[in-house]
Structure 1
């Protein structure tokens, strides 16, 4: 076999990628997470490149929550360290030397690089995105080569891999096979439930193993162990999704991935009841004249930061906001030159307001 020599014509504009990362971390990581990590390395090599979570999200055509999820993943893998401001926004990101992965326990070797300081928008303080949280290891990183080899001899696994290829319409890669084995061996999902998981995802237009894995992790976290339980949970969430779409004035279509991510955040991470979410959707349409999940998310994230738990809390916030507006207006009038009050167009008795009484009226509406 003839050998091929690789050469580069210039050493300018190079981002160095650690071989340990390529060999041990990249194969098991989500492709989107890998892109975020490599882009961070690229930013370190050129300090002139502007950096914020919003700019990274625009660069990769994704949401800020997707970027935060990637950062959280690499922090869990000890490839970077995050520090936060008092309001829980990310303040600094320190890249570490990828710890050596060995079969025996070893002491990670870390070498801090220069910190990156992002400018984070308020809505990016919550993580995810987007996706259901779980304490289990993602992407089947705990499966050893020997265990994978053993599972490939299991008749149930062989059948599952065949069924998955039929549903997905393609030959599975080794990484995709490993994910399905992870559902069976680590998440302890039954073969029937895994088959339904794949069928459920494909029927909704999602043939990505990344999406299927996200659903599997969510089901494992919620303690779903049978097909009947999965169908009940799916029906419950789909009902909530369509209720929110209706509140946005959207009908005749299914929610897209980005919308599902935000709705899951409102329902699961924020823990809001449907009446609060519907109120945010109504205000979004009234303010923007069109459905906007990002605008609604800003409203809901603001309410979460102010510990809103019911509609009465929202009315209190509205009353406080209106009172503040009236006080500012009164202060501006009091600061106006006295000469203006002598103008014949202003020669009338100025109104005064009892702000406490006004607040009571608002709350009783």
Structure 2
């Protein structure tokens, strides 16, 4: 995606988080949305100019690009930021609105208006959600899901079924603790709005807990990633996670690693698989060449190899052999066209070769013979 211009009408050399945001906006917002807003505040108050993009924000916050876009749309909807989109609907500019200069008259109306805004958003989300209480829609790949905040009445209605009660009991066993309100909101969101079955939600929690990840934000990110990829059954999820793990294992084996990849290393692997679209065979080939060249598992070196192949349009492993042949031909041509260096160094076996050598004629030899005879 293109680089985004970030603007603000309230700039300082430190990052200031208004109390109004903490008191009124933060409690009702998704945790990942809050991270995006705080990161924007940090970027805009950087003393030097900074260029950001959706991908750079996603990398920084360890989130998906679609999650970042979802968060920006959320803050735009409640008027904390303003977005400008290009002809292809990509975000090209973000303006952080001054929360203290919104069009409110005094302190009491500020509270009332903000509460009304949040209430209106909640009502809108609930209206979209309520028909789904009896007829849940199917998961649609690529869809951006609205996340409602469930009221006490809705929570009571949704949790008053044997299936949901059973689901909550199983998840408590996975988490090894009682379910918290944030957990409950997420589970109902996945069950009702996203359209996950109880079995798929259980597998989701089983998978995340097996990776030692119990944070609701992480679990939600994995779930939405599955939904956007059209994963709507346990079988599909198992196949996707098996492929995910097999790719990591293949890289580990090529690099001779006996551990799980670190966070930065995972970012490299995901970049090679998702951004470059390389098959695992091509990635393993780059890892093998890295080991031969550097004698160590250097992810940055492998990234340079794969970046070069990506620029040259490599899609299949066979194309790499053609690139190697072309490289060898070019190297051979350069070697043949290189002029031979003159051997001006003396032979190491004769130290007198360092001096200029004379050439003697027959007359020279005759003259020297005469001189020797006269001396006698």
Q: What TM-score comes out, normalization by structure 1 length? A: 0.61
The residue aligned with 1:288 is 294
Relative to structure 1, the CA distance from residue 278 to residue 166 in structure 2 (aligned partners, 3 Å threshold; closer, same or farther) is: same
2:141 aligned with 1:141 = no
The residue aligned with 2:29 is 28
The residue aligned with 2:62 is 66
Relative to structure 1, the CA distance from residue 75 to residue 319 in structure 2 (aligned partners, 3 Å threshold; closer, same or farther) is: farther
Relative to structure 1, the CA distance from residue 312 to residue 188 in structure 2 (aligned partners, 3 Å threshold; closer, same or farther) is: same
Contact 1:244 1:277 survives alignment (8 Å): yes
Tell me the number of residue pairs that the alignment of Structure 1 and Structure 2 aligns: 289
What is the root-mean-square deviation of aligned Cα atoms in Å? 4.5
The residue aligned with 1:240 is 247
Q: For residue 178 of structure 1, report the CA deviation from its aligned partner.
A: 1.4
Q: Which stretch has the larger CA shift, 268-277 or 75-84?
A: 75-84
Contact 1:198 1:212 survives alignment (8 Å): yes
Q: Which runs of 5 or more residues in structure 1 are unaligned?
A: 1-10, 85-89, 106-132, 335-340, 347-365
Q: Which runs of 5 or more residues in structure 2 are unaligned?
A: 1-11, 103-116, 125-139, 346-376
SS at match of 1:178: helix
State the Cα deviation string for residues 164-215 of structure 1 (Å, max 9, x = none): 2321123433222211112211222211221122122212322222332233
SS at match of 2:94: strand
CA distance in 2, matches of 1:322, 1:277: 22
Structure 1 or 2, whichever has the larger Rg, is 2
Relative to structure 1, the CA distance from residue 224 to residue 73 in structure 2 (aligned partners, 3 Å threshold; closer, same or farther) is: closer
The one of 279, 283, 286 equivalent to 1:277 is 283
CA distance in 2, matches of 1:241, 1:67: 19
Residue correspondence of structure 1 range 209-224 to structure 2 within 5 A: 209-224=216-231
Which has more helix, going by share of residues?
2
The residue aligned with 2:215 is 208
The residue aligned with 1:345 is 344
Contact 1:167 1:199 survives alignment (8 Å): yes
CA distance in 2, matches of 1:191, 1:306: 46
Q: What TM-score comes out, normalization by structure 2 length? A: 0.59
Contact 1:151 1:157 survives alignment (8 Å): yes
Q: For residue 295 of structure 1, report the CA deviation from its aligned partner.
A: 3.8
Q: Which stretch has the larger CA shift, 94-103 or 279-288?
A: 94-103
